[in-house]
Structure 1
Amino acid sequence: MSWDRFGQFTVGTFNVKLPVIAFALTFALTAIDSISHRRRGPQQTALITCAFVILAAMSFMGIFSEDVLASQLQAATVLVGAIIPLCAVYWNLQIFPNTDRALSAVIRGGYFSGIFGVYQLLAFYTNLPQVIPYEALGGGLGRISSFSYEAGYFGYFLILVIAALFARAFLRSEPVGRIPLFFLLSVLVLSNTRATFFTLPLFFLLLFARWPANIRRPKLWPIVSSAVLATGIAVAVSPALLGSFLTRFASIFDPTEISSNAPRLSGYAIQLHIVQDHPLAGIGAGNLYRVVSEYGGVANGTLSSNGVVANNMWIQALLDGGLPLLALETTFVLMAVRIMFRRRNPAVRMIMSGWISVALVSSLITSLYFDVKVWAILGICLGISSQVAEAKRGAREVASSRSWNR
């Protein structure tokens, strides 16, 4: 799910990623399997319906844009890179309800990406070949992007992996492994991304707050001890790390910080000006590169439709389809959040705690809405929710049958 820069090839200005191809093949093979073995099709849910409505709205709004082809290509990217992975995972978990295997795949992917990321950071300091080069600095220190485009995207992925680790432990009726948790938290610290300062605490807050009284609560001490140990070892290896982290944290609130904050805020001002002139239909997906220069912005040295983005999910929605698309995308997020509370299943709650944390934090600083990892994880949650609902229906039918027999 995190392979943005590994196993990909370029078609025009678009990077075709291996995970997207794999999910598309999975969906096609699942459909063939379902037909050939006369298995049922995927049970429709309101959330998936909303996803297709968003896609339709994006495509329709794009008809009125300057570059219609660019807008439709962006809509196609949403279909194959977000909605199909969601449906593929959800459909598979309905036919083969092996949630443990799905979560294990996510966790193993986190280990693999984390191990490579540690090597990538060591190579940065030792001049070994990085394999996938990443030279960005944060507070004067190296960062880890692993197979992702940026360290921030990799950090979001690790949050989802940690959530999957908790969910799998619950389903197995075992405590969360301290060594895996320590490793993932250590890599998250070493990734050196400012978003971690918000995403990780929010994840744990959502995980433990308002926990159902009738369900066993996961223990907090393995998390705290692992986090403290990971931070302690990191500071021991590099004493400058603590000072760098404090500086990085303080820089979050500095609007004049030149590496990220200042240009980002400048871009937001320009984008909001565009939104004010196009509030109802936006300018069409993939059209920001055409319009931004008219408002005094610079298209980041590129003229590709997918190379110029808002770096804010809500502003991006307003640009792509105006207020209607913003309302639809907000509705989708709220419906996803509802899954966490509607199904009193700790596994769903654990995964959705990570999903909501990533969605809320990333929404303010990236255009991550249609990222494959976010939608694939949501597919697992839908699969678990479906299984919980079916189990409850089965229990009610059995109870009703027994009552009738009496």
Structure 2
Amino acid sequence: MAGPQALLWSINTRAVLEAVDAQGPTGRPELVRATGLSKTTVSQALQELLARGVVREAGLDTERRGPAATLYETAPGSGHAIGIDVAAERVSAVLVDLAGAEVCRAERELGGAGAERAVPAGGPAAGGFAGIVAELAAEVAAEVAAEVAGGRTVGEAVVGVPAIVARDGKSIRASRGLPGAATLGVELQARLPYPILLENDVNLAAVAEQRRGAGRGIEDFVLLRVGAGLGAGVVIGGRLHRGFAGGAGEVGFLPHPATALGSEVLNARGIAREQGFEGSPAELLAMASAGEPVAIDAADAIARRLAHVIGAIALVIEPELFVVGGEGTEVLLEPVRRHLLADAPELAVDVTGSGVPGGAVVQGAALVAHEHVRERVFTEATT
């Protein structure tokens, strides 16, 4: 009977922990109703979870009749996760606790585009790009270093990269100007004392959009992120679609009559130059938003190319919604809709802007890392 009894205890305790996490701060009567377990079973499970440090008391409920009841909630300090965004201009990191709340964040500005960005002024003398990422992760992790005795420190870091990441989440199949891409995962894992998971940056932005932005409650949507290049995060049936080998969403290389086969369908900087504008895509879009005529013409050319990409995707998977993300891309929404209506009026296409405030990639990375850490901590606490 020892085996089945242990299994039953694990199932019951996990049910109580999940209910605390979903409803907390909450009392025992609410946990009894939520789980369908007896008062005695719930009380025993709470005592064990308190002893293991994954649940804590959260004050008293003085509003109900009778004696004040103790409230319980998940202990935020019992696990932490880090999300990291490796972008062209900067590396950003955010630390979240087991409740999913942000504890702190840090950023490191990079020197410029291309390989030279790997070692900015004042950066580490050795270690290159992996050293910068590891250093930033260590900076935010230091916020919880003092909790080693009373809780758990970082359980995992998820790193968003502008690259095609293999199914193992450790190696990179192909990248766009990412210094040391081939060995980044190995070098990071050697430098940091917790598991590292690599993921495509646009995929992570799509996760953030699904949980916190325009994709909430939508089963099928595509996030198109416009920056130095173009990438897509595809959500089908409520799940991120990574493809067989991690390469789904590389729509930046779709064939187009205006480009050579194998070249980028939407190179914002190149299109802007053709229209007589010199500057970064973000600068272009900001000036278009401010009403600069040359910038408006360049933004319109980008929007038409983007509309053609949307049309091609719609013909294949016909999602409910397309979300256009990236810095300053709000100015592209109206011309994209206009070009779709003019060039492909028969398509059922709805286009909107991002609903994620702040950095979507780093938020998505933190959400994925938190999900993994939460599962690990909950499993350890109930077995």
What TM-score do you get using the length of structure 2 for normalisation?
0.25
Larger helix share, 1 or 2: 1
- By relative contact order (CA 8 Å, sep 6+), the higher-ranking structure is 1
Higher Cα radius of gyration: 2
Looking at secondary structure, tell me which structure has more strand per residue.
2
